[in-house]
């Protein structure tokens, strides 16, 4: 996908490696061994219009890295009882792979890489919004 200033950064989905018993695999230092999960995203033409196949379905591709952009990094604060709830939201191109609550994303922006957990994901006609538990910007 060509560079788009709407989505200048990248993320990948981090998954822990599990052994045959379902226990996390660790390296010699006891750190979890991780990998990435392939994602299914919509393919766009040069004008950023989604490409449709002859049957009307979207043309998709499998990728390991998705572009994303900041949308709400400090806004949406509200009080629920005495707890402050923050709304950390990013957007990316249309993504068809469901990211369930708790999915870990490794996110890279202009200056650093950090991890965040997915709280919610919604796909709209202009792309996908993902709400996260934190934003390190």
Q: Are 77 and 85 in contact (CB under 8 A)?
A: yes
Rg (CA), the chain: 17
Q: Are 95 and 53 in contact (CB under 8 A)?
A: no
- Rounded to a whole number of angstroms, the distance between the first and last alpha carbons of the chain is 24
Local structure of 40: helix, strand or coil: strand
* Each residue's pLDDT tens digit, 46-86: 888 889 999 999 999 999 999 999 887 554 555 556 555 66
Q: Quickly count: other Cβ atoms within 10 Å of residue 68's Cβ.
A: 24
Indicate whether this model's pTM tops 0.95: no
Higher confidence at residue 121 or residue 32? 121
The encoded tokens of residue 65 equal: 């890295």
Distance CA 36, CA 64 (A): 7
């Amino acid at each position: 996908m060509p560079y788009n200033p709407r989505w200048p950064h990248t993320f990948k989905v981090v998954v822990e490696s599990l052994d045959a018993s379902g226990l996390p695999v660790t390296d010699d230092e006891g750190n979890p061994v991780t990998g990435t999960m392939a994602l299914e995203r919509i393919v766009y033409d040069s004008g950023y219009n989604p490409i449709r196949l002859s049957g009307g379905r979207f043309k998709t591709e499998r990728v390991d890295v998705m572009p994303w952009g900041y949308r709400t990094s400090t806004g949406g604060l509200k009080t629920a009882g005495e707890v402050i709830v923050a709304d950390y939201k990013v957007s990316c191109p249309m993504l068809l792979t469901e990211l369930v609550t708790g999915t870990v994303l490794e996110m890279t922006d202009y200056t650093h890489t950090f991890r965040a957990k997915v709280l919610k994901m919604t796909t709209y006609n202009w792309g996908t919004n993902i709400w996260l538990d934190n934003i390190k910007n």
